[in-house]
Amino acid sequence: MHSLDANFTIVAPAQEIAAALDQRIDRKTKPLGALGQLETVARKIGLIQQTLTPQLANPQMLIFAGDHGAARAGVSAYPQDVTWQMVENFLAGGAGINVFARANGLGLSVIDAGVAHDFGADRAGLIDLKIAPGTANYLEEPAMTAAQCAQAIEQGARAVLGLAAAGCNVVGFGEMGIGNTAAASLITHCLTGMPLAECVGRGTGLDDAGLARKQALLAQALQRYRATGGDNDAFRVLAEFGGFEIATMVGAMLAAAEARMVLLIDGFIVGAAALVAVHLAPALLDYCIFCHRSAEPGHAAQLQAMNAEPLLDLGLRLGEGTGAALAFPLVRAAVAFLNEMASFESAGVSDKA
């Protein structure tokens, strides 16, 4: 059993205001429940902020990037260099997440949690939290040491404190790391108990032979872990399979929930970080909005384990936080209806006969 160096105090929102929130939602000029999942989101944010008039302030996307030792073994359709190349694409504003964050009014920062590349000093938009230039290869040894894992969590937490100080109260999580669907598959298997085969998918686009190879390699990694006495402790699983971007994200999520922010959870890899964070602090779930259902098969196991019903189901499998950025207008709309819609009384509309 491992523990965190950093302490997080994450408490479930008080429920006293829930009845008043329900009443406010139900008296809006609409049939009862007619705004479906938007009503659930409005209620959740009202609870997080403990108010009938929540506000979303200075929304930000954080994109966590890292490399994986196992990537060179052939668990991805793309070469490892794509990680740093895509970070450069983020910094130049040309990636999908840049387009969607711009379109939907979200700020964006990139965190180098452990990319195997030197980006040079003082790059605008890039936060250097590099633990090491890529994790070790979990086919041979743990991806990171317990100390590295704790450091990543602590650094992720500190990055979020910076956002909170800037008045941000809603943060979207995204990631980049060639090989990170493989790490997410292993984490998902260990923390949900779903068979490994059902947690492994094509990632960025493996063909049948590539998928079979990925399945075999991950089974081998799991076998090695179990042979060393590896259990399903969330912290140990995280350190064992990585990556640094996932561990740093776990810390950021814990700090964001502690700061009572709204957490926008993207797809499969961000979902793996959320799964770890929820195991470390179950009340974190009350701060999460699950933004989309990924086409990656292991995502279903995560959603089931966290009892989550995502907002979008568009067949997305790009990662980067694109699902979170795309769902953000729905979150904003949920808050807007709670604040701006008239009630039957205020609008002089007759209620149900």
Catalytic center residues: 320
Instruction: Report the residue number, 12 or 103, with the smaller CB distance to a second copy.
Output: 103
Considering only 4-12, 90-98, 145-153, 238-246, which stretch makes contact with a second copy by CB under 8 A? Answer: 90-98
Binding to a second copy by CB under 8 A, coded x per residue (else -) over 282-311, reads -------------x---------------x
Q: Is 212 in the site for a second copy (CB under 8 A)?
A: no
Minimum CB separation of residue 96 from a second copy in Å reads 6
- Residue owning tokens 């499998």: 317
Instruction: Report the residue number, 201 or 251, with the smaller CB distance to a second copy.
Output: 201
Size of the site for a second copy (CB under 8 A): 60
3, 50, 55, 81: which one binds a second copy (CB under 8 A):
81
15, 19, 36, 227: which one binds a second copy (CB under 8 A):
36
For the chain, the C-alpha Rg in angstroms (whole number) is 20
- Of residues 97 through 116, those in contact with a second copy by CB under 8 A are 98-100, 102-104
Instruction: Report the residue number, 62 or 101, with the smaller CB distance to a second copy.
Output: 101
Considering only 50-58, 113-121, 153-161, 321-329, which stretch makes contact with a second copy by CB under 8 A? Answer: 321-329
Instruction: Report the residue number, 213 or 224, with the smaller CB distance to a second copy.
Output: 213
The contact set with a second copy (CB under 8 A) reads 28-38, 77-79, 81-82, 85-86, 88-89, 92, 94-96, 98-100, 102-104, 204-205, 295, 311-318, 322, 326, 329-330, 332-333, 336-337, 340-342, 346-353
